């Protein structure tokens, strides 16, 4: 009986040691997995915001800018829109909660702005001022929007 107990205790100690060794070997992988998960969380904060800022009163040109911009973004960046690397937003600057955008982006008229967000903070923004010059040519307008968005995607490494 004493011999059986010693064998059982020996097996228990051996099993405990194996468990500790296996647990220690898995810890670096767990830490590595946590690091990868944190990077993934950060990347959710990395994106481009594409804004079209308009007023409540809207002329034909304003409506064309919205339509052409939306079409250019939706047709050129379907994947990026789906995975939230690009967010397209229409913003009425006449609403009180949106007035800050006038100062934030130095707006003086209806505008298309591409804003780079990195780690949840604004890295850079650009006003696509040529939209007014390209209103009579939807193809050139769309190419301009798509080129600028692509340039910002590449620059932001999204």
- Kindly report, residue by residue over 87-96, the tens digit of the pLDDT: 999 999 999 9
CB 104 within 8 A of CB 90: no
Q: What is the pLDDT of residues 1-58, one digit of tens each?
A: 777 777 876 776 777 766 777 777 765 555 555 554 444 444 568 999 999 999 999 9
Give the right CATH number for 45-156 from 3.40.1390.10, 2.102.10.10, 3.40.30.10, 3.40.50.150.
3.40.30.10
Instruction: Name the phi and psi angles at 58, rounded to 5.
Output: -130, 130
pLDDT of 34 reads: 52
How high is the mean pLDDT of the chain? Answer: 87
pLDDT of 52 reads: 97
pLDDT of 16 reads: 72
Contacts of 56 (CB under 8 A, 6+ apart): 92, 94
pLDDT of 50 reads: 98
CB 110 within 8 A of CB 69: no
The pTM of the full predicted model, rounded to 2 decimals, is 0.72
pLDDT of 73 reads: 97
CB 56 within 8 A of CB 96: no
């Amino acid at each position: 009986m004493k011999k059986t107990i010693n064998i059982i205790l020996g097996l228990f100690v051996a099993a405990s040691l194996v468990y500790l060794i296996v647990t220690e070997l898995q810890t670096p992988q767990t830490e590595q997995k946590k690091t990868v998960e944190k990077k993934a969380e950060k990347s959710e904060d990395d994106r481009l915001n594409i804004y079209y800022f308009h007023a409540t009163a809207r002329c034909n040109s304003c409506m064309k800018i919205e339509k052409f911009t939306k079409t250019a973004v939706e047709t050129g960046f379907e994947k990026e829109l789906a995975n939230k690397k690009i967010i397209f937003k229409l913003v009425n600057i006449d609403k009180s909660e949106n007035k800050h955008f006038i100062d934030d982006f130095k707006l003086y008229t209806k505008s298309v702005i591409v804003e780079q967000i990195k780690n949840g903070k604004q890295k850079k923004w650009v006003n696509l001022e040529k939209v007014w010059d390209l209103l009579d040519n939807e193809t050139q307008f769309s190419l301009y929007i798509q080129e600028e968005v692509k340039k910002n995607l590449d620059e932001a490494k999204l």
